[in-house]
């Protein structure tokens, strides 16, 4: 008798999902061994509905207070790690992610030995017509910022939360650094880049017909810039300074110091010339210009090193032969 080469747990963060949660759970395919529903202190009937379903694979985790989607996912991850799952997936409770595609994520993890597999909505242009325009523009803008902050310049849809991660990589992540709110996906990518995780993307059609999003766009617009800056500085420190004093760190430090010197010295020299009506000497100009140019060049070199360090991103479409189910074993640890 042939045994399955993987064990898959699915984590579903649920908040005010009474209208959709039953339908989502009924669509979970047989390849899933465990379904972890995290009731994030939902005030509606989400938890009773989940508890009343007959599927024995379902495990219900309940929060006394609302922790946000990231907090719910951390609880789900910890629950999955207590089992013998070799792969852990995340889908939403609003019905916007089709669970029947989970076998494709498993196949991608097996065929290219990737640590993290995620969906990409931008591979199917026709399906993007259903995405609200303000959401589309916001995703494109955040995509660019997240590329810079996370270091994964080859990942095009970082805001997509349909993911599968291997147990091996999940155990290496510092889950205490995962953001508790909608910055969850971004903070995951930052953690993964620090660990130099291999990533794959699967082009999946977008679906926005079944439910409205609970995202507060105003709150996101206010909170994300600070979180992006802190996330970038944290990644640079952890990856290039704390864990290994790399050429990036040397170039970046020199570039920041030299560029700052050039700007400050040049600004001071200009102010003196402006107030005294005496032109600055060639030497004074060069003391500002040369450090600025050298510093800017060093920063560009550091930027190139960071882009190159991201490594390749494997891309798949739904009809790729490589995504046919395979039986390659995934290491448990």
- pLDDT at residue 21 tops 90: yes
pLDDT of residue 305: 93
pLDDT of residue 216: 57
pLDDT of residue 38: 96
pTM (2 decimals)? 0.84
Q: Helices H, strands E: what count in the chain?
A: 10, 8
E-assigned strand segments in the chain: 8-14, 34-39, 58-62, 87-90, 116-120, 163-166, 199-203, 313-317
Residue from 180, 127, 194, 113 nearest 157 by CA: 127
pLDDT of residue 127: 62
Mean pLDDT over each residue of the chain, to the nearest integer: 87
Mean pLDDT of 39-64: 93
pLDDT of residue 332: 44
The model's pLDDT over 228-272, given as tens digits with 9 standing for 90+, comes to 999 999 999 999 998 888 899 999 999 999 999 999 999 999 999
E-assigned strand segments in 151-194: 163-166
How many degrees, rounded to 5, is the angle at CA 186 between CA 201 and CA 206? 45
Count of CB atoms situated within 10 Å of the CB of 17: 28
Cβ–Cβ < 8 Å for 85, 200: no
CA 103 to chain centre: 21
Q: Could you tell me the two tokens for 313?
A: 């991103």
The model's pLDDT over 148-190, given as tens digits with 9 standing for 90+, comes to 999 998 888 888 889 999 999 999 999 999 998 888 999 999 9
pLDDT of residue 303: 94
The model's pLDDT over 266-292, given as tens digits with 9 standing for 90+, comes to 999 999 999 999 998 999 999 999 999
pLDDT of residue 27: 93
The least confident of 31-35, 88-92, 129-133, 169-173 is 129-133
């Amino acid at each position: 008798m042939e045994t399955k080469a993987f064990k898959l747990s699915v984590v579903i963060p649920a908040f005010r999902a009474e209208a959709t949660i039953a339908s989502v759970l009924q669509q979970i395919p047989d390849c899933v061994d465990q379904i972890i529903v995290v009731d994030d202190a939902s005030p509606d009937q989400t938890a009773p509905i989940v508890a009343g379903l007959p599927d024995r694979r379902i495990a219900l985790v309940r929060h006394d207070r609302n922790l946000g989607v990231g907090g719910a996912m951390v609880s789900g991850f910890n629950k999955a790690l207590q089992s013998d799952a070799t792969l852990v997936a995340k889908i939403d409770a609003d019905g916007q992610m089709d669970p029947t595609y989970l076998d494709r994520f498993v196949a991608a993890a097996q065929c290219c030995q990737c640590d993290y597999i995620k969906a990409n909505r931008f591979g199917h242009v026709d399906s993007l017509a259903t995405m609200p325009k303000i959401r589309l523009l916001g995703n494109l803008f955040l995509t660019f910022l997240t590329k810079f902050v996370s270091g994964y310049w080859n990942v095009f849809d970082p805001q997509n939360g349909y993911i599968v991660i291997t147990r091996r990589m999940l155990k290496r992540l510092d889950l205490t650094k995962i953001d508790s709110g909608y910055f969850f996906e971004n903070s995951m990518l930052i953690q993964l880049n620090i660990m130099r995780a291999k990533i794959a993307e699967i082009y999946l059609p977008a679906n926005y017909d079944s439910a409205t999003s609970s995202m507060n766009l105003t709150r996101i617009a206010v909170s994300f810039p600070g979180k992006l800056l802190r996330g970038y500085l944290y990644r640079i420190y952890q990856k290039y300074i704390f864990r290994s004093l790399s050429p990036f760190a040397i170039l970046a430090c020199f570039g920041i110091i030299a560029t700052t010197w050039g700007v400050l010295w040049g600004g001071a020299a200009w102010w003196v010339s402006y107030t005294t009506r005496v032109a600055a000497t060639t030497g004074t100009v060069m003391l500002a210009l040369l450090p600025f140019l050298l510093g800017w060049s060093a920063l560009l070199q550091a930027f190139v090193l960071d882009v190159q360090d991201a490594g390749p991103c494997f891309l798949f479409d739904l009809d790729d032969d490589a995504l046919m189910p395979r039986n390659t074993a995934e290491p448990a640890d």
